[in-house]
Structure 1
Amino acid sequence: MNAKTSGRLAALDGVRGLAALIVLAHHSLYTNAAFPGTPGAVSVPQGSPMWWISYTPLKLASAGWESVIVFFVLSGLVVTLPVVRKRGFDWVAYFPRRAVRLMVPVIASVLLAAVFVMAIPQKSTQADGTWLSDSSTPNFSWEYIVKAWDLLGGDGQINNPLWSLRWELIFSLALPVFVIAALAVRKWWLGGLAAAVALTWLGVRTDSGALSYLPAFFVGAVLAVRLEAVRNFADRVNARRWRHPFWFVMAFGGATLMIAPWLFGPGIADAKELGFALKGLAPFGAAAIVVAAIGWAPFRALFESKPLQFAGTISFSLYLVHVPIIIFFTYLFAGQVWWMPLLFAVPAAILVSIGFTWLVEKRSHGWSRAIGAWASDRYRASFGREQESERAETAADTAAVAAQGRR
């Protein structure tokens, strides 16, 4: 979505950009084995810096899993929107276009990740079971590249964030189903959102990836089919004196809802059912943030600001390239205080993502449009020839029947 052409929805680029920066912060902090939420982390003292950035609203700055849910809701919205807006949507062009749009950056990011993995030995300095140990590849071979390219059944060991691209691809392939389902609940959208929350809860409760993540795309699809109603609702709210308190509660409430399990402190680990229930509300919280970004002028202005618009421009590339770079610098500065590598890794990740956006992602846009147009033209040409052949056969049959009648 282009900020210059998408009007009020330009703010969603900024939302995506901020979410990408939060994921960058999330993985940066994960290099510290003591950071709450990392695999194998122990509890931190109450009142310590790690406690404050993990169990208070400051968690919003490093809420990585929650930011991925925001990504999924945004994808559901922006990918569904052209389908419901455009009469006679070109499905023949859509599928190859979407596949190229996703897979070209993924393939390039895996090759780049392989370069960083091979550049320095990745023998973890941390105990087994930490995020750094789990994300390292000490015995790299070319098979890791092939497995990383296989989004549906492969292994993203050398590029950790690829796990989420699996669900992006599945959603993209199943888009007709999501569109039909969203249209089916158009009048009963609250019921649709409640069903999405229930399915997400069931997913996190049973550790089902499909149920944990695909409902977030459905929430975005519902927002797409209800977009005009959302805008009309925003107009009505903005005509009231209490508009700013209302929107603040929606925006901050949605954000708080997404990190709600963290706000209960380390004790949430002993109340697993409560944690599952609160995680199930994450897509609803993300939807509240998106609606506030569309409807509330100050919030929209924040996300339409140049820094966040720029972050939105490089967000997909940043998401794809940052983890191998963080891990590379962590090993390059092994033995230093844990935050020292980040002073180099974070700027390097942003710079590489800028180059990746220009060199790979923007070209993938052009290639995806070209392949979509080619597929559509080929289909129309083939379908047109078949129709002409059928018409010719029908005319011949009619003429034969008429000739027999004359005899």
Structure 2
Amino acid sequence: MENSGKVVSSRREELDALRGIAAVVVLLHHVHWMWPPPWVLPDSLLLHTPLRMIATGRAPVLFFFVLSGYVLTLAVQRRKSFRMMDWYWRRTLRLCLPIAAGLLLSLLLYQICRHHPISHQLNPFFWRAQWGQAPTWEDWFEETTLLGDVTGQGYPLDAAVWSLTHEWRISLLLPLAVIWRRVWIPTILVSAIVSMVLIFSGEVAPDVTLGRGMLNGLAATLYFILFFAAGYALAVSGARLPKGRGIRIAAWLAVFAGCSIGRDSVVLVGACALILLVSDPASRSSRLLRGGIWQELGKISYSLYITHLPVFLAVVAWFGLFMPPLEVAGLSVVSAILVATVFFWLVEMPAHRLSQFHRKTIPRPALGGDMSSS
């Protein structure tokens, strides 16, 4: 993607803040996932209130998908010219270089920690999903290339990479959708039909993540297109929440339901409602999200998502046997944020600058015409 002029508007601070909040929820989910702790709340609170996001961790990831579709579409629309191959190279550099470095970090931490016994208090499901078997360079290559779970063994270096596999695949299709932006309604309808067919045919489970094997993984990607397509439709259509207190209350109720009900369709509606609520610059929720800790966490959210699981396991390996679970959990979260901050400045930002350098120095033949928003 190339810009012959300047970008029309700057980065949206409130959307960064939402990304930061979602990243923290994912962190808390994996803290909850590590132990079956004695202080755990009753199922009625964990599964039927917004705490469900921490118990299952699925809602914030689906929200990331909707938000990515929205933000990437806005970014493409703000460009005065568009170059397809440049877009692909930039996405490759910005997504895959940090992933490759994060997986190297996981491999390094495993080598450092492999002789430390894992605490018996740790949930077996957690460490079997990651570092359950000795990760290899073949695992690093498979996860770095985002090919999916080709071997059927999961992602032993970083289980969180599953969602980035889908984001990478779907982002390759996004430029085509934006070029033909007037067909956003058929795009949504086709995506919804494909998702329902995949669910009812049994090709993907209702709670699918990565999918086992290449074909099932591609079917899972087709299912998640609906969430990116919803964000894309919000951006292309220029949707705005109608004025009125009743409308805003209904939107917040949709957000509450999306956080509390274990249905992907409800999460989808809630995610769209939340984006609409904060997209109005004059709204109170938008003003509250600008600046502060949430925006800072949003800035490092990608680095945090990539690195937090290996850091959690390293902390557990070193301290899990002689520190109480609550203290280990707190140390894990603090360590993950510190490592993500360093990773952001040493890896993610250089990858971003490299993608900008590529855009400036490697010309590509332009496709389509004027990509300014209508």
Asked if TM exceeds 0.5, the reply is yes
2:361 is matched with 374
Query: Equivalents in 2 of 1:8, 1:195: separation in Å?
Result: 33
SS at match of 1:340: helix
Query: Equivalents in 2 of 1:185, 1:174: separation in Å?
Result: 13
CA RMSD of aligned residues (A): 3.2
1:332 and 2:318 are equivalent in the alignment: yes
- Picking from 352, 355, 377, the partner of 2:342 is 355
1:105 is matched with 98
1:72 and 2:65 are equivalent in the alignment: yes
1:289 and 2:284 are equivalent in the alignment: no
Shift of 1:368: 0.6
What percentage of aligned pairs have identical amino acids?
Answer: 26
Shift of 1:189: 8.4
1:166 is matched with 165
2:28 is matched with 25
Shift of 1:206: 8.8
Structure 1: any 5+ residue segments left out of the alignment?
36-43, 262-277, 381-407
Letter in 1 for 2:258: L
Shift of 1:297: 1.2
- Note the 1:270-349 alignment, pairs <5 A: 278-295=263-280, 297-335=283-321, 336-349=323-336
TM-aligned CA distance change 1:8 to 1:330, over 3 Å: closer
The structure whose Rg is larger is 1
SS at match of 1:317: helix
Normalising by structure 2, we get a TM-score of 0.79
Is the CA contact (8 Å cut-off) linking 1:60 and 1:259 kept in structure 2?
yes
TM-aligned CA distance change 1:8 to 1:136, over 3 Å: closer
SS at match of 2:326: coil
2:134 is matched with 139
1:389 is matched with none
1:15 is matched with 18
Deviations 1:121-148 (A, max 9, x none): 2755369962233222442433332232
Is the CA contact (8 Å cut-off) linking 1:325 and 1:349 kept in structure 2?
yes
Higher helix share: 1
Structure 2: any 5+ residue segments left out of the alignment?
1-7, 209-218, 367-374
Is the CA contact (8 Å cut-off) linking 1:220 and 1:287 kept in structure 2?
yes
Shift of 1:225: 0.4
Deviations 1:285-309 (A, max 9, x none): 2111111111371211232131111
Is the CA contact (8 Å cut-off) linking 2:160 and 2:305 kept in structure 1?
yes
Is the CA contact (8 Å cut-off) linking 2:29 and 2:57 kept in structure 1?
yes
The count of aligned residue pairs is 339
Deviations 1:325-372 (A, max 9, x none): 111112223334433311211101001111111111111111011123
Is the CA contact (8 Å cut-off) linking 1:76 and 1:217 kept in structure 2?
yes
Is the CA contact (8 Å cut-off) linking 1:136 and 1:158 kept in structure 2?
yes
Shift of 1:15: 0.7
1:224 and 2:235 are equivalent in the alignment: yes
1:404 is matched with none
Normalising by structure 1, we get a TM-score of 0.73
TM-aligned CA distance change 1:93 to 1:139, over 3 Å: closer
SS at match of 1:349: helix
SS at match of 2:175: helix
